[in-house]
């Protein structure tokens, strides 16, 4: 990085004040790293040295520490994992690009609780509750499927959904099918990153999701990941995403306590509320 002449201190103070006064404007990046999508409105002339941002939580007036700030009216894509008609004979297992040079099945049937409550029904229910919460706060919400009675869409289509919708963030809602002894949530993000959105903002979104879930009293997974975070290179939808995207495994359906949580309307509402609270 070239060394620039050090500006006089009063100049730096003036720039800092200018930045703080324009912090509520749309297009503010959610983290110190630049976000994709519409460029932020420049607040200083090109080439002017810019002091460090005071905090990633500054961009909106309502931002709270540990959240992912969104401009007012921003678009959020919610991806309810799987679908009701995915299954044998549905043709959903043909290969599609995985974003790292390989392929993955178009989609899968998903997991289920021991007594048959399916993951697709859970993700559909929680996604609807989450959409209600975000729309009530003025955000535009786009879902990757419009019912729980269809096939697909493929994971590569889901991965492209954020960019197609012009979204500021994508949350993919899932529940895991791990060993019965393990319980808790984990948040997946693409790693190593493949583009600027994955390089910083997606990790910020993942951290915010973990903080929000923990803050709502949910336990980080005891059987996978680390403290609720799970860096992954094998999730096509995350690999292919060019806007900040995470996949939240809300619980382990094979664990009896987690199964009881996801089966209860109150549990699903608590999960949706926790996911809504990810956004400032």
* Least distance to Zn ion, CB of residue 190, Å: 16
Q: Candidates 23-31, 81-89, 151-159, 191-199: pick the segment binding Zn ion (CB under 5 A).
A: 81-89
Q: Which residues pair with 173 in a beta bridge?
A: 80, 248
Residues that bind Zn ion (rule: CB under 5 A) add up to a total of: 3
Nearer to Zn ion, 121 or 205 (CB): 121
* Least distance to Zn ion, CB of residue 110, Å: 5
Q: What three-state secondary structure class fits 257? A: helix
Q: Candidates 1-9, 80-88, 124-132, 253-261: pick the segment binding Zn ion (CB under 5 A).
A: 80-88
Assess 153 for contact with Zn ion (CB under 5 A).
Answer: no
Q: What three-state secondary structure class fits 103? A: strand
H or E, element range at 80:
strand 75-80
CA distance 197 to 135: 24
Of the candidates 98, 207, 249, 258, the residue annotated as catalytic is: 249
CA distance 237 to 223: 23
Q: Candidates 90-98, 136-144, 170-178, 272-280: pick the segment binding Zn ion (CB under 5 A).
A: 170-178
Task: Tell me, yes or no, if 249 is annotated catalytic.
Answer: yes
Helix and strand numbers, DSSP H then E, in the chain: 8, 8
* Least distance to Zn ion, CB of residue 174, Å: 4
Per-residue mark of binding to Zn ion, 100-119 (x: CB under 5 A): ----------x---------
Is the distance from CB of 275 to CB of 126 less than 8 angstroms? yes
- CA 276 from chain centre, in angstroms, equals 11
Assess 81 for contact with Zn ion (CB under 5 A).
Answer: yes
CA distance 257 to 251: 9
Nearer to Zn ion, 174 or 270 (CB): 174
Among 120, 158, 174, 186, binds Zn ion (CB under 5 A): 174
Assess 254 for contact with Zn ion (CB under 5 A).
Answer: no
* Least distance to Zn ion, CB of residue 209, Å: 16
* Least distance to Zn ion, CB of residue 234, Å: 13
H or E, element range at 195:
none
- Residue 29 neighbours by CB under 8 Å, 6+ apart: 35, 40, 59, 201
Nearer to Zn ion, 75 or 172 (CB): 172
CA distance 68 to 121: 27
* Catalytic residue positions, numbered: 249
Residues forming the site for Zn ion (CB under 5 A): 81, 110, 174
């Amino acid at each position: 990085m070239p060394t620039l002449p050090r500006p006089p201190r009063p100049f730096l103070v003036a720039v800092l004040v200018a930045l703080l006064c324009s912090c509520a404007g749309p297009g503010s990046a959610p983290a110190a790293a630049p976000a994709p999508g519409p460029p932020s409105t420049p607040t200083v002339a090109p080439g002017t040295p810019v002091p460090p941002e005071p905090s990633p939580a500054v961009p909106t007036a309502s931002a709270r520490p540990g959240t992912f700030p969104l401009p007012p009216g921003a678009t959020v894509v919610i991806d309810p994992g799987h679908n009701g008609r995915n299954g044998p004979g549905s043709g959903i297992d043909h290969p599609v690009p995985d974003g790292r040079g390989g392929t993955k099945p178009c989609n899968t049937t998903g997991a289920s609780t021991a007594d048959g409550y399916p993951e697709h029904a859970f993700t559909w229910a929680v996604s609807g509750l989450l959409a209600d919460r975000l729309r009530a706060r003025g955000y535009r919400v786009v879902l990757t499927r419009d019912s729980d009675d269809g096939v697909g869409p493929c994971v590569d289509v889901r991965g492209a959904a954020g960019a197609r919708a012009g979204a500021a963030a994508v949350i993919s809602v899932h529940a895991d099918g791990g060993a019965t002894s393990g319980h808790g949530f984990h948040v997946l993000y693409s790693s190593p990153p493949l583009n600027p959105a994955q390089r910083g903002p997606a990790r910020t979104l993942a951290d915010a999701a973990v903080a929000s879930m923990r803050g709502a009293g949910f336990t980080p997974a005891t059987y996978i990941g680390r403290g609720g975070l799970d860096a992954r290179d094998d999730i096509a939808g995350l690999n292919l995403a060019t806007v900040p995207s995470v996949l939240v495994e809300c619980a382990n359906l094979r664990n009896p306590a987690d199964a009881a949580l996801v089966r209860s309307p109150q549990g699903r509402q608590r999960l949706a509320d926790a996911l809504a609270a990810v956004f400032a």
